[in-house]
A and B are shown apart, each in its own frame.
Chain A
Amino acid sequence: MKVKITNGMFVALIMTIIYAKAIGVTQGSLAREIGHDMWIATILGTLQGIVMMILTAAILQKLPDQNFIGFAEALLGKWAGKIVAFVIFLFFLFSFGPIMVTFIYHFKDYFLPEAPIYLFIVVALIVGIFGGFHGLEVMARMALVGAFAVVCLNILLLTGSLSEFDIHNLRPVMEKGFIQTSWASRHYDTDWALATVMAGMILPMVKQSEKWVKAGWSGMILTCIAITMWPILEAAVLSAPVTAEYIVSCMHLARGAHIGIFLHRYELIMIALFSTSSLIQIMMSLYCSAHALSKIFGVKDYRPMLIPAGLALGAFGYWLVLDHLRAISFTEKEWPLISLPIAFLLPIILWTFGKLFRRKLSRS
């Protein structure tokens, strides 16, 4: 039986795969670049993401049984498929760096400062491979739970921080101008890039191909709603300069949240809810990279590839996270340079080839 997930699960996967990094690490980068206008950059990034998600869904609707790799193979032959698989593997290999930055720095810097980094990597890989082994259906169900966790987390944070909300911290709007704010949105683009490339890999396993486009853009909008609350609160409660001081700025906001005098620290509950999204990022990266590897090596089942994929991704993640400076530098500088060309160009190239080889496509 071929695994099929619902469009609702696909929306939940979009939300959870973007959320974890976008609320904290990305907002810190945005704050360092454009100050309190980070929420505008997030919205501008979402608009770009919606376009790319629609394009991704529209491309794959032409061949609903194929993902990006299969699409390239059907149009341009076996080797084109392998090249696309390699590009996708590289994408998820490097994405694992910022994902590990998000996961490990949340846990290590704020809760377990004495624990060795390899422990986090090993545990993340065990959970990721365990989830990846069970397949997309289970991850999608987990994403539904994750979406619920996201809503709970937002409500908890809102409840704990609203009393210190100062709207003056959000003014003046668009302080650095539209161009610079738009340019800064590339940091958020790297977050939705994970969702669009993931969609390029899993859409054939989503039911009702006629609804993919709608599910894609509605997922991006819902994610934007869930995320934009964070930069607004970070700017209004912490202020942009304070947000800019931290790699994981959302944790600082969560630490400050309190309900009355007795519940003055509840970031532990929030981090438990947050980890659902973070762990889904890890599982999905491993799942997609194992899929790409299985295509490269012509292995029918992706599961045996989870271990080599995990070793490669884990090694890169470990190397990156060892040094905070290297981690943040890669996340802000190199990662956009790697991810955005793939996220933008891969669908555009495939779409162009789809147009050029229209007859071949219709035969396929």
Chain B
Amino acid sequence: MDNLEKDITDSLAENTNIISAILGDSADINKREFSFGQLKGVCFFAAGLANTDQVSTIVRSFAVFGEHQDASGNRTIQAISRSLILNTSVETKTKINDGIKGILSGDTLVLLDGYKEYLLVETKGWDKRGVEEPSTENVVRGPRDGFTEDIRTNTSHIRRRIKNPDLRFDEMTIGDKTNTSINIAYLNGTVKKGLVEEIKSRLSRIKIDGVLESGYIEELIQDAPLSPFSTIQSTERPDKVSAALLEGRAAILVDNTPFALIMPSYFWEQLQAPDDYYNNFWMGTFFRMLRYFAFLTSVLLPSAYVMLISFHQEMIPTRLAFTIASGREVVPFPVLFEALIMELAFELMREAGLRMPKPVGQAVSIVGSLIIGQSAVQAGLISPFMVIIIAITGISSFAIPSYSTSFSIRLLRFPMLIASGTMGLLGFTCAFFMVMIHVLSIRSFGEPFFSPIAPFSASEHKDILVRVPWWAMVKRPRTASGELRRLGAGQKPKPPSTSEERHEGE
């Protein structure tokens, strides 16, 4: 591997041997030797990664060149690359390492006899998944395109949305063995001061053999590594990333995954959906409120129910208490045990439904929810009210747009349940309080996670609990730098007020 750091020599045979030795006899690495007149050369490329048509074109170019030139030595390699190679990107290099990386990224390395430099021609052309609607972040109104596994396709999605020269993609490579391409996307002049430097500094600290998904990066750079909450937002949606960039944040795109990372991220954003911004602001606000309610229901409902039934029955309205009691009459288990079993069963069904092939998964869900649930109630193992509580909790957790947040909630539910089921109101309150302390203590790239509620920032409240109309969202969030005004003056639409104005309009 010492050869990797070396420059190539002017001997074609020697160079070919070195590169062949480095790449070994791997079945997917192709070597195409050619000899046209006095011109001799070798092309190295990876089958499946490189577009073979383009490789053929390169070889054909050399064929024409070789037939019409007596000697190639009187031309510099730069001249050859300029006049001969038709591909969009071609570089001249000397280091063997660069060439190897190029081959493994889908480029074609061209060695020519008698030259101390080689050509690295961009011939990337592997099979890609088409652009599809993101499966984890569906919207009713809004763009349907999602990121794919190809990083260039993903950057193009963002570039298509922000046609601005200030949009930058800074490239890094992480993973000693995988050499995974990572792009840091940001809007120069708008991004929060120091954020890009901080991201680069955190990324450059990563020493890992391979990065197969952005989750690796997320775990290695986030502020609260032990927290169940994710302080970096992951998304498959280019519009979400573009919106974040316009607000002065940055994104990390990782090759081979459709999930981009947005930072800094706030707690409240995990409960916001892209539709909030595309629909009427009344609808946006209503559904946002509904999601906050769903979040609270999802975290607190089972523990509140267990707490009330186990310790504070007097707090339940009398008729409701009778209804619950009649349902629980035949149930042999304590309510905490019943709730834990039901929660675990629900998680099991969800996990099974997710892992099974789609048609079978649906069947598992139906069998689980309808048949087992109904049978358990009829057998007197579970009370009907508990089934309702767990079902409402499950539905509420489905209403949370961020998949990682719904995971956090599922994890938090169990300690909350145990605390409430063993210590009643004391356990419920103190467990919730400890979760709150934790949430309030964590940061996302220096920004308090629970901001702008605590610490309170009045100027940010146009897009937190409510979503005000676009014409009222005059300024960017305070994290952005540069010009904070995002909207021109007097953008609130209004009909012509006088009959003359109306007439002029016509």
Contact = CB atoms under 8 A, between A and B. Distances in A.
B424 A145 contact: no
Contacts of B423: 112, 115, 119, 123
A262 B441 contact: no
Interface string B28-63: 000000000000000000000000000000000000
B426 A279 contact: no
Interface in B421-440: 423-430, 432-434, 436-437, 440
Contacts of A124: 430
A267 B433 CA distance: 18
B433 A276 contact: yes
B401 interface: no
B454 A119 contact: no
B455 A9 contact: yes
Given A111-B424, A131-B437, A263 B315 contact: no
Given A123-B423, A130-B437, A145 B311 contact: no
B421 to A, nearest CB: 13
Interface residues of A, number: 34
Contact of A144 (B424, B428, B441, B456): B456
A268 B315 contact: yes
Contacts of B440: 134, 138, 141-142, 145
A141 B426 contact: no
Interface in A109-139: 111-112, 115, 119-120, 123-124, 126-127, 130-131, 134, 138
B6 interface: no
Nearest to B317: A262
Interface residues of B, number: 27
Interface in B344-403: none
A264 interface: yes
A115 B426 contact: yes
Nearest to B440: A141
Given A127-B434, A141-B440, A112 B426 contact: yes
A268 B425 contact: yes
B229 to A, nearest CB: 15
A266 B312 CA distance: 11
Contacts of A264: 317
A8 interface: yes
B429 A272 contact: yes
A94 to B, nearest CB: 24
A271 B455 CA distance: 24
Given A142-B436, A144-B455, A144-B456, A107 B317 contact: no
A211 interface: no
Interface in A1-47: 6, 8-9
A275 interface: yes
A127 B433 contact: yes
A112 B455 contact: no
B425 A111 contact: yes
Interface string B322-341: 00000000000000000000
A147 to B, nearest CB: 9
Contacts of B453: 144-145
Interface in B419-471: 423-430, 432-434, 436-437, 440-441, 448, 450, 453-456
Contacts of A272: 425, 428-429, 432
B314 interface: yes
Given A120-B426, A127-B430, A272-B425, A145 B436 contact: yes
A123 B419 CA distance: 11
A176 interface: no
A265 interface: yes
Given A123-B423, A123-B427, A111 B311 contact: yes
Interface in A265-296: 265-268, 271-272, 275-276, 279
Contacts of A140: 455
A307 B436 CA distance: 22
Contacts of A267: 315
B425 A142 contact: no
Given A134-B437, A144-B455, A144-B456, A119 B426 contact: yes
A279 B430 contact: yes
A222 B505 CA distance: 54
A263 B311 contact: no
B430 A126 contact: yes
Contacts of B456: 6, 8-9, 144
Interface in A125-173: 126-127, 130-131, 134, 138, 140-142, 144-145
B314 to A, nearest CB: 7
Contacts of B437: 127, 130-131, 134, 138, 142
Contacts of B436: 142, 145
A262 B318 CA distance: 8
B314 A265 contact: yes
A6 B429 contact: no
A119 B426 CA distance: 9
B238 to A, nearest CB: 34
A286 B492 CA distance: 52
Which of A9, A131, A141, A276 has most B Cβ within 10 Å?
A: A141
Contacts of B308: 268
Nearest to B458: A8
B399 to A, nearest CB: 23
B89 to A, nearest CB: 45
Contacts of A266: 315
Nearest to B425: A111
Contacts of B317: 262-265
Contacts of B428: 272
B430 A123 contact: yes
B40 to A, nearest CB: 64
A87 B308 CA distance: 43
A124 B314 CA distance: 25
Interface string B57-89: 000000000000000000000000000000000
B422 to A, nearest CB: 10
B434 A265 contact: no
Nearest to A268: B315
A118 to B, nearest CB: 12
Contacts of A138: 437, 440-441
A126 B433 CA distance: 11
A266 B429 CA distance: 15
A140 B437 CA distance: 10
A141 to B, nearest CB: 4
Nearest to A276: B433
A134 B441 contact: yes
B223 to A, nearest CB: 14
B450 A141 contact: yes
15 contacts: A9-B456, A107-B426, A111-B425, A112-B423, A120-B426, A123-B423, A127-B430, A134-B441, A142-B440, A144-B453, A144-B456, A145-B436, A145-B454, A263-B317, A265-B314
Ranked nearest first, the 5 interchain pairs of A and B with the lowest CB-CB distance are A141-B454, A144-B454, A141-B440, A134-B441, A138-B441
Given A9-B455, A134-B441, A264-B317, 15 more contacts: A9-B456, A111-B425, A112-B425, A123-B423, A123-B427, A123-B430, A124-B430, A127-B430, A130-B434, A138-B440, A140-B455, A141-B448, A142-B440, A262-B317, A272-B425
